[in-house]
Amino acid sequence: MTPEQRSALIARYLDGPDEVDRALDGFPADRLTAHPIPGKWSAAEIVHHLADSETQSATRLRKLLVEPHPVLQGYDQDLWAARLHYESRPIGPALAAFRAARETTGQLLLTMSDSDWRHLGWHSDAGSYHAERWLEIYAAHAHDHAAQIRRLREALAR
């Protein structure tokens, strides 16, 4: 990955919270837990997932930067959604946690050296894993879920 490609992905990563805010703008507050698309998460579930996923991903990057051969543990996101009551909790604190994790991790991304990007770890689900792979995944993650929130809003409007 070139430095220019990394810079573009970092910019996308940093824009993630604003993109989610834009997707939620105008979403009916009383419909945040609605499931207009069968088998898909509600907007509230997506927001809580983003908060939990972001705190996990922030820890993963830190482990990649600090530990000599880190093991990054995967998790069952659907089990987290069910057991952590994504449907019944207000989304405000989750949005704040998501934004704070992105901002502090963004600070790290902007200070990383070329060698930092190549530190290898092992992901329990994905195998060999490094910071550039991490960035590819998480630069798109919030935008992908923002698009999902928009599809839910459109489905509710039908």
pLDDT at 1: 86
Contact 69, 23 (CB under 8 A): no
Q: Which residues of the chain have pLDDT under 50?
A: none
Domain boundaries, the chain: 3-157
Helix (H/G/I), strand (E/B), else coil: 73: coil
Class of domain 3-157: mainly alpha
pLDDT at 77: 93
Gyration radius (Cα) of the chain, Å = 16
pLDDT at 84: 94
pLDDT at 16: 98
Which residue, 105, 100, 109, is CA-closest to 8?
109
pLDDT at 116: 93
pLDDT at 6: 95
Burial class of residue 70, CB neighbours in 10 A (0-12, 13-18, 19+):
buried
